[in-house]
């Protein structure tokens, strides 16, 4: 093995509940009620897949774009400060580096959320290669 590709949310940081709450809050702000459990089960998908799955809304519509933007604002201001590293995340990455493995992150997080998430994980300085949802045409589970 020469490299390790990691996700961030739910792997390096315990952030999946925070993302789900941010989505629910953003839908609520738009006057749309969604089920938290349905949103939580959809975390890991990009907004382009989550929004139709939980609310039947296309992210490319003005309403969808407004909800997605609001979710990002809510996540960064309300929930991100409380996100914590997964236990042992830094130690694991340090071990990979000691074993001469190249580290990379491939995340469905937006670029403007990726760096703060890596900082919350305490590993931003260890990962030289990164790709975010901004680098892909389609989100997970599509293989872009």
Tokens found for residue 87: 């236990």
Summarize pLDDT for 54-111 with one digit per residue, the tens.
Answer: 999 999 999 999 999 999 999 999 999 999 999 999 999 999 999 999 999 988 787 8
Whether the per-residue pLDDT at 142 is higher than 80: the answer is: no
Predicted confidence at residue 46, as pLDDT, reads 83
The full set of domain ranges for the chain reads 3-14+85-135, 16-82
CB distance 90 to 50 below 8 Å: no
Predicted confidence at residue 129, as pLDDT, reads 87
Summarize pLDDT for 31-43 with one digit per residue, the tens.
Answer: 999 999 999 999 9
**pLDDT category of residue 140 using cuts at 50, 70 and 90:** low
CB distance 11 to 93 below 8 Å: no
Mean pLDDT confidence for 8-23: 96
Fold of 3-14+85-135: Rossmann fold (3.40.50)
CB distance 48 to 71 below 8 Å: no
Strands 3-6 and 84-85: unpaired
| Dist. CA 112–CA 96, nearest whole Å | 26
């Amino acid at each position: 093995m020469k490299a390790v590709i990691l996700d961030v949310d739910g792997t390096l940081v315990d952030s999946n509940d925070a993302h789900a709450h941010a989505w629910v809050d953003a839908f609520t702000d738009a006057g749309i009620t969604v089920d938290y459990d349905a949103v939580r089960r959809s975390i890991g998908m990009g907004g382009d897949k989550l929004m139709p799955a939980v609310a039947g809304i296309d992210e490319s519509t003005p309403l969808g774009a407004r909800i997605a933007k609001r979710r990002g604002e809510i996540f960064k201001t309300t929930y991100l400060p409380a996100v914590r590293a997964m236990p042992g995340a830094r130690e694991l990455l340090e071990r990979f580096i000691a074993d001469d493995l190249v580290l990379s992150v491939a995340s469905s997080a937006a670029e403007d959320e990726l760096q703060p998430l890596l900082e919350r994980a305490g590993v931003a300085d260890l990962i030289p290669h990164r790709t975010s949802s901004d680098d892909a045409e389609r989100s997970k589970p599509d293989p872009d």
